[in-house]
Amino acid sequence: MHKIILITVISLFFLGCSESATQSYRPVDQKKAWNIYGKYNGFTGNVQIFINGYKAIDEGMDFFSSHKDLNGFYNDRKIQASCSESIYTLSPSVECIIFVDNERAATLIL
Q: Print the SS3 string covering 1-13.
A: CHHHHHHHHHHHH
pLDDT digits (tens, 9 = 90+) for 71-93: 999 999 999 999 998 766 666 68
Q: Cβ(26)–Cβ(34) under 8 Å?
A: yes
pLDDT digits (tens, 9 = 90+) for 4-58: 444 444 444 444 566 677 889 999 888 999 999 999 988 888 999 999 999 999 9
What is the domain range of residue 44? Answer: 2-109
The enclosing domain of 13 has a CATH number of 2.40.128.180
CB atoms within 10 A of CB 79: 20
Q: Tally the domains of the chain.
A: 1
Q: What pTM was estimated for this model as a whole?
A: 0.78
Q: How many CA atoms lie within 13 A of 104 on its CB side?
A: 5
